[in-house]
Each structure stands twice: as C-alpha cells, then as structure tokens.
C-alpha cells in the first residue's frame, strides 16, 4: 500500500476556530479523519502531520523523499514565503499536490504567489476540506498510472 504524506503548515492547528468564514468550520482533526477514510478507500496509507515550524516542515518533506510515494501539502503561510520549502520539494521524486482551503487568488495579492506551485504537479484551492480528498484521489490516480506504465515496460 503506497504511503502518502499529508503535510500542513502554520496555524492550521487552529482550523475551526481561526477565521472560519475563510477557512471553514472543520478542525484539522476532522480533515485528518477524512483523509484517512479516503486513504482506506483508495488503497493509500496516510501520514498526516501539522507544524508551525518551517524547519520541521522541510525535514518532513525530506523524510517523505524516502518514505512516501506521494505528497499532499498545505504549506499555509509558508506557501508565499519559503524558498526552503520549495528547495525541499524539488528533491521529492513522486507526485506533489498543493492544497489550500481558501482560494488565494481571491484574497490579498501576496497570496497569489506560491513557491510551492513551482514544484507541485497540481493545485487544489478554494474547496475547503474537500480539497484534501480530491488531492488524494489525484495522487492515487497518478500512482496507478505510474504502476501501469512500469508494468507495460516490464
């Protein structure tokens, strides 16, 4: 069963409390449960983590490089500021899907700039907690397609 790291950046531990009109009313624990359920349905093992520390997020991305087949990332505020996160993502060999609960393109101008997007295979934004499930469906399909291509080559 392929492992997918679902990594979350700063302040997402406050979901459901912090600006629910922007980020929704689901807690991070509820989103984690939805991801684990989707993982079971899709045949994926989910490792779900959140940190407020940039260095820890970079370490987890590096760990994913050897432990995970795919990566779903909501880097939150680090999306718009962290070259370190981008550099770590560029070392990851599998599919990467960037997720945002809100639509950054409908918010402050600085949020439209994403360093994560420079390394991501795809972006899902503005769909709330459902975006995480859609990201897992996308990486599951990418992983299936890679296995099918490998099988054909063998």
CATH number at residue 136: 3.40.50.9100
pLDDT number for residue 20 = 61
Task: Please indicate whether residue 105 is annotated as part of the active site.
Answer: no
Cβ-Cβ contacts under 8 Å for 84 (sequence gap 6 or more): 54, 55, 58
Residue ranges making up the domain that contains 60: 3-153
Task: Please indicate whether residue 26 is annotated as part of the active site.
Answer: no
pLDDT number for residue 41 = 98
42 vs 86: CA distance, rounded Å: 28
pLDDT in tens, the chain (154 residues): 999 999 999 999 988 877 666 666 789 999 999 999 999 999 999 999 999 999 999 999 999 999 999 999 999 999 999 999 999 999 999 999 999 998 887 766 666 688 999 999 999 999 999 999 999 999 999 999 887 766 666 6
pLDDT number for residue 103 = 83
Give how many domains the chain has, as a whole number.
1
84 vs 9: CA distance, rounded Å: 13
55 vs 23: CA distance, rounded Å: 24
114 vs 14: CA distance, rounded Å: 22
Q: Which of 26, 78, 100, 115 is catalytic?
A: 100
Q: Which of 23, 78, 115, 132 is catalytic?
A: 23
CA angle (97, 43, 54) in 5-degree steps: 35
pLDDT number for residue 10 = 97
pLDDT number for residue 112 = 67
């Amino acid at each position: 069963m392929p492992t997918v790291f679902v990594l979350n950046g700063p302040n997402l531990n406050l979901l459901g409390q912090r600006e629910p009109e922007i980020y929704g009313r689901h807690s991070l624990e509820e989103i984690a449960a939805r991801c684990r359920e989707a993982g079971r349905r899709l045949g994926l093992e989910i490792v779900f983590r959140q940190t407020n520390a940039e260095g820890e997020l970079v370490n987890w991305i590096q760990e994913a490089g050897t432990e995970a087949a795919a990566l779903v990332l909501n880097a939150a505020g680090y999306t718009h500021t962290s070259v370190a996160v981008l550099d770590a993502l560029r070392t990851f060999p599998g599919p990467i899907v960037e997720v945002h609960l809100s639509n950054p393109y409908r918010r402050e101008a600085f949020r439209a700039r994403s360093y994560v997007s420079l390394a991501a295979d795809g972006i899902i934004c503005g769909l709330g907690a459902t975006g995480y499930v859609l990201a897992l469906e996308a990486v599951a399909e990418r992983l299936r397609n890679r296995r099918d291509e490998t099988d054909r080559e063998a």
